[in-house]
Structures are given as structure tokens and as C-alpha cells.
Amino acid sequence: MSGRKGRVLIVAGSDSGGGAGIQADIKTVTALGGYAMTAITAVTVQNTLGVSGVHAVPIDIVRGQIEAVISDLGADAWKLGMLGSAEHVRAVSDAYETFSNGATMVLDPVMVAKGGAALLADDAVELIATQLVPRATIVTPNAPEAARLTDMEVRDLAGQIDAAEKLVEELGAHAALIKGGHIDGDIIRDVLLTREGYRVFEGPRIATQATHGTGCTLASAIAAYIAQGASIEQAVERARAYLIEAIRHAPGLGQGHQPLGHGWPLASKANT
């Protein structure tokens, strides 16, 4: 672990509004002291009100970005976000098998944008479950994503636990974090299952419009911490704390689902 340099290769889509996707990922990894690199899978036309267009990046360009980064800079962790199509899932899975050298994979199976736009083709869901989940160090779906990956109902804590068990014990992930933000209630519970057992994180729901990019941010924070030597459980605990403060430090921009204050650790240091 002492040889880790905090290098995170982010394979995901771009968000022109800067609140989610590649932009949120880069901000997060940088704020937490890591080094962010990217392979962009799609360019989206979006702001806080929603997604109005998606342009997929050609497969050979996605793979080329990955190969260029790994051959020169290397990576201590890969963070996978929006992949979009079955073809992109296959290409990224093959690239990970070829170039990763066993690096940590944090898999955030992005399926739907905060505003409701579909970001993953139906035929790509099964490929994620069969090709990427078994290679994942940790997979971080929200409740609806976990339901689609496992073909189970995920509407409460029991459903979260059942989905985590299926992702780890049947589909082969090393660990699973089933997020509870989409489940009704004043308390949000996130269920972490590793090969060592369960841990349930919980905290009060924050009343805010600043929810855009929360999933991307959490997964990238986990990747940044693992890339710098943290264990899975340590990374999840620290990433959740970072996310909560990023929500609290949100700049209040936009008319819809607003972005987070990703740079709050840097601002805090500047003010001390």
C-alpha cells in the first residue's frame, strides 16, 4: 500500500453543467488529494434542470484514452461511472482486463440522471452484472440501480441487505454499498457488505436541492481514498463524511437539482 500514489482513472460521461459525471469526479479526487485522469465515454448536454442530449464517444477513442493513461501514468484505482451502451460496457470490461494489472475498481452503475433521463441502455444492465460486477472491488448502486442489477425489490433496509448479498455472494463483487437516498424516510441508511461482514451507515436526510452528482461524488471519493491506501470500510466512512459536507457547502447554483460544494476541504484549509 505504501507504493500507492492516489492515481484514479475515471471512466464516465461528461456533464456540461459541472455537477455530476467527469467534472464532479475530477473535483472530488482533487479535493481529497488524489490525482484524477479520465476516459470520457459520452458528452452530455445538461444543466441542473436535466439532460437534453447525449453524444457517445466512439469505442476506439474510449479504449485509446484508457490505454494512453495507463501506459504512461498508471492508476491505483479505476472509477467507472456512466458507460451508456452495451458496446461501451464490453470495451471497458476488456480494457480493465487488459490494462488494470489488478487495480481497485469502484463501480458506480449509473443508469438514470437526477432529472430522470436514461443514461444506460437496457441491454447493458445485464453486461454490467455479468462482466463488471465480478471484477469490482466495490459496487455502489442506489436502490433503483440495485433493484435492476439484482432483479429484486429494494424498498427498505431488508431489501438493501438482500441486494448486497446477491451482488457479493452470487454476482461476485468483493464488496457492495447499497445507498438509501432513494428510499423514503427521515433517516438515510447505506448498507456496506464486504467479505468481513455488514456495516450500516445512517444519518438524517438533509433538506436541500443540492443533490446533483451525489452518487458520482461518493464513488469518486471512495476511489480516491482507496487509491491512497485506505481500506474499503475506511474509504466508505470517509467518503460519506466528505459528501455530507459537500452538500452542506453547496454553492446554490441553478434552478433544478443543484451541484455540490466539492472544493470545501480546500476552502477550509485556505481559511485556517
183 found inside a domain = yes
Reply yes or no on whether 214 is catalytic: yes
**Confidence at residue 266, expressed as pLDDT on a 0 to 100 scale:** 87
165 found inside a domain = yes
1 found inside a domain = no
For range 6-35, the mean pLDDT: 97
State how far the Cα of 157 lies from the Cα of 183, in Å rounded to an integer: 9
Q: What percent of the chain has pLDDT over 70?
A: 97
Reply yes or no on whether 102 is catalytic: no
For range 140-147, the mean pLDDT: 95
Side chain identity at residue 128, one-letter code: I
pLDDT tens-digit readout, 103-141? 999 999 988 867 677 778 888 899 999 999 999 999 999
Of 38, 44, 214, 217, catalytic: 214
2 found inside a domain = no
Low-confidence winner among 14-18, 115-119, 196-200, 237-241 (lowest mean pLDDT): 115-119
Q: What is the DSSP letter of 224?
A: H
pLDDT tens-digit readout, 209-228? 999 999 999 999 999 999 99
pLDDT tens-digit readout, 25-75? 999 999 999 999 999 999 999 999 999 999 999 999 999 999 999 999 999
239 found inside a domain = yes
Of 104, 137, 150, 211, catalytic: 211
Which residues are bridge partners to 176 per DSSP? 139, 193
Of 216, 217, 254, 261, catalytic: 216
Q: Are 14 and 82 in contact (CB under 8 A)?
A: no
Of 213, 217, 254, 261, catalytic: 213
Q: Are 80 and 92 in contact (CB under 8 A)?
A: yes
Mean predicted lDDT score pLDDT of the chain: 94
- Cβ count near 33 (within 10 Å): 13
Residues spanned by the domain of 189: 7-270
pLDDT range class, residue 263, cuts 50, 70, 90: very high
Reply yes or no on whether 269 is catalytic: no
Reply yes or no on whether 211 is catalytic: yes
Reply yes or no on whether 215 is catalytic: yes
pLDDT range class, residue 84, cuts 50, 70, 90: confident
Q: Are 222 and 231 in contact (CB under 8 A)?
A: no
**Confidence at residue 272, expressed as pLDDT on a 0 to 100 scale:** 64
Q: Flag whether pLDDT at 11 surpasses 70.
A: yes
Q: Please name which of 199, 258, 190 lies closest in space to residue 219, comparing C-alpha atoms.
A: 190
For range 79-91, the mean pLDDT: 95
State how far the Cα of 2 lies from the Cα of 246, in Å rounded to an integer: 28
Beta strands (DSSP E) in 128-259 are 138-139, 176-178, 187-194, 197-204
Reply yes or no on whether 140 is catalytic: no
Of 27, 114, 166, 179, catalytic: 179
Q: Residue 26 maps to which CATH number?
A: 3.40.1190.20
**Confidence at residue 2, expressed as pLDDT on a 0 to 100 scale:** 46
Q: Please name which of 247, 261, 132 lies closest in space to residue 181, comparing C-alpha atoms.
A: 247
Q: How many domains does the chain have?
A: 1
Q: Flag whether pLDDT at 1 surpasses 70.
A: no
pLDDT range class, residue 254, cuts 50, 70, 90: very high
188 found inside a domain = yes
80 found inside a domain = yes
pLDDT tens-digit readout, 188-209? 999 999 989 999 999 999 999 9
For range 253-272, the mean pLDDT: 89
